[in-house]
Structure 1
Amino acid sequence: MENVSLVQMKPGEQGTIVAIQGGYGSRRRAESLGIRVGVSIKKISAQFMRGPIIVQVGNTTIALGFGIAQKIIVEKRQR
């Protein structure tokens, strides 16, 4: 299986979060949104030119900024 940042995933791809890079503030912000290591995540869509990235975590849809999305490392699931 391949580990990539959330930014590198294509819309519709799913995986499991294996790491959240960055400092304490970045990890805390992600965790406050339900984004934690071990959680399943699905990329719904991405905007052109570093715009927000839409993901689904459980039954919740979340828009993430490009910067924090770069710090979320996901182990992609095979289709």
Structure 2
Amino acid sequence: MPGNKHIAVSKMKSGQTGKIIEIQGGQGITARLNALGLIPGRTITKLSDMLMRGPVTVKTGNTQIAIGYGMADKIIVELD
């Protein structure tokens, strides 16, 4: 759809919301993120991040999750 922007969670600004459309990675990282509730189709909001590629905090539903920058870089969302 025109106007929809796909971006990695690591590149989102704090407060931005989007729907997970893809997890770019192998079976291991996909399984780990799925276990945390980060699955395609879910809506997430980026709450905060640290400087210099530190941890990223996201919210999905009523759950806040801190993930590493590398993991956040593999989660592709469609911004609202």
TM-score (norm 1): 0.96
Choose which of 49, 53, 57 in structure 2 pairs with 1:50: 53
Return the alpha-carbon distance in structure 2 between the equivalents of residues 21 and 58 of structure 1.
22
Q: Please report how far the alpha carbon of residue 33 of structure 1 lies from its aligned counterpart in structure 2 after TM superposition.
A: 0.2
State how far apart, in whole Å, the 1-side matches of 2:48 and 2:26 are.
26
Structure 1 residue runs of 4 or more that deviate by more than 3 Å after TM superposition: none
1 CA distance for matches of 2:32 and 2:14? 23
* 1:34 maps to which of 34, 37, 62: 37
2:13 alignment partner AA? K
1:9-68 CA-partner distances (Å, limit 9, x unpaired): 000000000000110001000000000000000000000001000000110000010111
**Equivalent residues, number:** 77
2:28 is the counterpart of 1:25? yes
Distance 2:25 2:34 in 1: 13
Q: What runs of 5+ residues in structure 1 fail to find an aligned partner?
A: none
Post-superposition offset of 1:71: 0.2
Aligned-residue CA RMSD (Å): 0.3
C-alpha distance in 2, partners of 1:30/1:2?
22
Unpaired segments ≥5 residues, structure 2: none
Taking the aligned partners of 1:69 and 1:15, their CA distance within structure 2 comes to 13
Percent of matched pairs sharing the same residue:
45
- Match 1:69 to one of 61, 72, 80: 72
